[in-house]
Amino acid sequence: MSDNGPVQTRCPVLNVRRVDAYYAITVVAPGIAERFRSGQFVSVAVGGDHSSTLLRRPFAIHDVKPDYGGTVEFLFAVRGSGTAWLAERRSRDLLDVVGPLGRPFPLPRDPVNCVLVGGGSGSAPLFPLAQSLRRRGCRVDFVLGGASADRVFSAITARRIAETAAFTTDDGSFGTRGRVTDVLGRVIEESRSDAVYACGPMPMLRAVTAVAGNHGIPVQVAVEETMACGIGICMTCVIPVVGEDGITRMVRSCVDGPVFRGEQVRFDDVGTIPFDALGAPGWKGSSAARAAESARDIA
């Protein structure tokens, strides 16, 4: 049992707020709050003790506060049975929450200019990131998108904490009609961004990575893959990622991610096992690759 790893707690709901088309739940969870770094997420058991819904639901942590020893907030849209159940929680109900999970966003050493790009619920983890970056003296600009106005999470907060905030919606009901990548290039140029952080659906992350590449700046992406366990034991959340050693591995987005360097994610091959991935059918690894494997994770 480790001290900075995730904890599992049954924590009381402080409040559930409805905001446009989404909900914000705050729970009292000091153990999670004190360990939290931006980009990390929680996983929440849904449906109660006798639920037929077995698996936890992952949500990015949107905010932590010191109240009551430490609170954690996450935002969610109702998608299916799990989020519908969560939306019905009331204060003082208990939630079984595990967190903080996953690798956080790496923060720049220097006060550089960062543009933060979020799609739909993917905006959520960008807000604590923005705070951390601001604390380091970074300039922060936001580009947030969604299907429609009410699917753009926390637009007001974005305006408040960022230098600039641009919005896009598929239906044009808010901000520019179109995709986040339709405005991203302009924002990068105008804000002289040095780095991009993005979170949202895979196609968006791919497009954002391409834009950042065109501008020659690094990009960190946080993926939202389907996850059964969130703690690295089920192997259902894998995506192909190229390691520092040039070898592609099927890595777990819950513990090896959810944050990756955009250039290292093989977006074109998500949903496949690339032929040159370590252990792919027909793959014959060099003994060097194997030795590297055996050394990994020892530390």
Partner 1 sequence: MNADLRTRLGSLRLPNPVVTAAGCAGSGRELEQFFDIAEIGAVTTKSLMLEPRAGRPAPRMAETPSGMLSTTGMQGPGIDVFLQRDLPWLLSRGGRAIVSIAGAGVGEFGELARRVSEAEGVGAIEVNLSCPNPADPAGRRFADDAAQAATVVQTVRSHARSDLPVLAKLSADVPDVVELAGACVTARADGLTMINTLRGMSVDTRTLRPAVAGGMGGLSGPAIRPLAVGCVYRVHEAFPEVPIIGVGGVRTGTDVLEFMAAGASAVGVGTVNFSDPSACTRVLREFNEALDARGVSRASEVVGAAHRAGTGV
Ligand X SMILES: Cc1cc2nc3c(=O)[nH]c(=O)nc-3n(C[C@H](O)[C@H](O)[C@H](O)COP(=O)(O)OP(=O)(O)OC[C@H]3O[C@@H](n4cnc5c(N)ncnc54)[C@H](O)[C@@H]3O)c2cc1C
Q: Which is nearer to partner 1, 196 or 229 (CB)?
A: 229
- Near ligand X in 231-270, by CB under 6 A: 258
Binding mask 79-98 for a copy of itself (x = CB under 8 A): --x---x-------------
Sketch the per residue contact string, 1 through 30, with partner 1: x for CB under 8 A, - otherwise.
xx--xxxx----------------------
Site string for ligand FES, 245-284 (x = CB under 6 A): -------x-x------------------------------
Phi, psi of 118 (to 5 degrees): -130, 140
CB 204 within 8 A of CB 196: no
What's the burial of 201, exposed, middle or buried (CB within 10 Å: 0-12/13-18/19+)? middle
Q: Does 51 bind a copy of itself (CB under 8 A)?
A: yes
Binding residues with ligand X: total (CB under 6 A): 22
Binding mask 8-47 for a copy of itself (x = CB under 8 A): ---------------------------------------x
In the complex, least distance from residue 21 CB atom to partner 1, rounded to whole angstroms: 19
Binding of ligand X at residue 36 (CB under 6 A)?
no
Q: Does 203 bind partner 1 (CB under 8 A)?
A: no
Amino acid at residue number 236: T
Interatomic CA distance for residues 22 and 20, integer angstroms: 6
Q: Which is nearer to ligand FES, 17 or 296 (CB)?
A: 296
Report whether 62 contacts 73 (CB < 8 A): yes
The stretch near ligand FES (CB under 6 A) out of 3-11, 102-110, 145-153, 224-232 is: 224-232
Shortest CB 24 distance to a copy of itself, Å: 23
CB 35 within 8 A of CB 4: yes
The stretch near a copy of itself (CB under 8 A) out of 17-25, 51-59, 129-137, 209-217 is 51-59
DSSP codes joined into one string, 72-91:
EEEEEE--SHHHHHHHT--T
Q: How far apart are CA 220 and CA 212, in angstroms?
A: 10
Half-sphere exposure of 270 (CA within 13 A, CB side): 19
Binding mask 43-62 for partner 1 (x = CB under 8 A): --x------xxxxx------
H or E segment at 161?
helix 155-161
What would the DSSP string read from start to end of 106-148? PPPSS--EEEEEEEGGGGTTHHHHHHHHHHTT-EEEEEEEESS
> Which residue of 38, 83, 191, 220 would you call a contact of ligand X, by CB under 6 A?
83
Task: Return the one option of ligand X, ligand FES, partner 1, none that residue 57 interacts with (CB less than 5 to 8 A, by type).
Answer: ligand X
- Residues sharing a CB contact under 8 Å with residue 287, sequence separation 6 or more, in sequence order: none
Give the span between the Cα atoms of 33 and 31, in whole angstroms: 6
